[in-house]
Amino acid sequence: MLFMTYYPVDIGQAIRKECSRRNYSKKTAKIYVNCVERFLNWTGKTIDVVSKKDVSEYLFHLSERGRSGSTLNVYHMAIRFLFEDILRKNIKLNVRYSKVPLKLPEVLTKEEVKALIGAITNEKHKLMVELMYSAGLRVSEMLNLKVEDINFDNNYGFVRQGKGNKDRIFVLSDKLKPKLMKLIGDNGREKEELIFISNLGKKYTTRSIQKIIDKATFNAGIEKNVHPHTLRHSFATHLIENGYSVNEVQALLGHKSPETTMIYVHLATPNMIKIKSPIDSL
């Protein structure tokens, strides 16, 4: 059994407070709280008597239910965070699960990206979709872009406080540069203002962007399940196909490790990444 000397009255509040202190995102804190609460509810025990065995059995339970390796990793990290960072106890679980998703993400071909963009008639909506694809931006990153985040003189921009609260640089397309400058100039945007604002003067929502993409996907006759993140997957895959290295793509996507970026090597077409079948050398 694990015997603790400190037990917070409100576990959820303690996790959120520690996540905030470590500058973790609110989303991460919410996930950790949810995972820990589910774990404790499953054990039916109070925090002062829960054991290392309970943790191992719960992870095995999730595995038996068909949860992916990535999901098991999240639960493992959340429970470890509870014991090591909240309760100051080291449970020393030597459990590792693959982070590689069971299913590769869907990507669009270059022709499909062109068709998707061409199916959008509203110029501002089209520019938002073009920017997400051209720079590999998450939808939230695109929606939070401010005028001051773009360096037009040197053709790059900054993602401020992206996933994991990290800043990173993205490339600014030569084709999109004049479109962005015109949008900003025509609307008299100040440097601290958002670049993309609806006609009602409000910030766009993720759902509104999804609707734009859904309509364009239908009108373009694309039979794939396309969502905003599909554009980011497509951006990375097409860069690999164009001959850029995994390390270069990793930096542009803001991934912590090259292993995460390697998935796009598997998605790129074999001839473009210069892979030849061994039978060709027989």
Cα–Cα nearest to 144, from 120, 124, 165, 161 = 161
Residue 125 designated active-site: no
Q: What is the DSSP secondary-structure string of 210-275?
A: HHHHHHHHHHTT--S---HHHHHHHHHHHHHHTT--HHHHHHHHT-SSHHHHTHHHHHS-TTTTT-
The one catalytic residue in 53, 211, 229, 266 is 229
> Which listed residue (16, 138, 233, 238) is catalytic?
138
Query: 30, 89, 163, 215: which one is catalytic?
Result: 163
Annotation marks residue 16 as catalytic: no
Catalytic-labelled residue, pool 16, 126, 238, 255:
255
Per annotation, catalytic residue among 125, 126, 232, 238: 232
Look up 38 and say whether it is catalytic: no
Which three-class secondary structure state does DSSP give residue 100? coil
Backbone angles phi, psi at 194, to 5 degrees: -65, 145
Q: Which of 92, 47, 102, 30 is nearest to 72 (CA)?
A: 102
Backbone angles phi, psi at 220, to 5 degrees: -85, -5
Active-site residue (options: 24, 58, 204, 264) = 264
Residue 189 annotated in active site: no
- 65 has catalytic annotation: no
Q: Is 58 a catalytic residue?
A: no
Give the residue numbers marked as catalytic. 138, 163, 229, 232, 255, 264
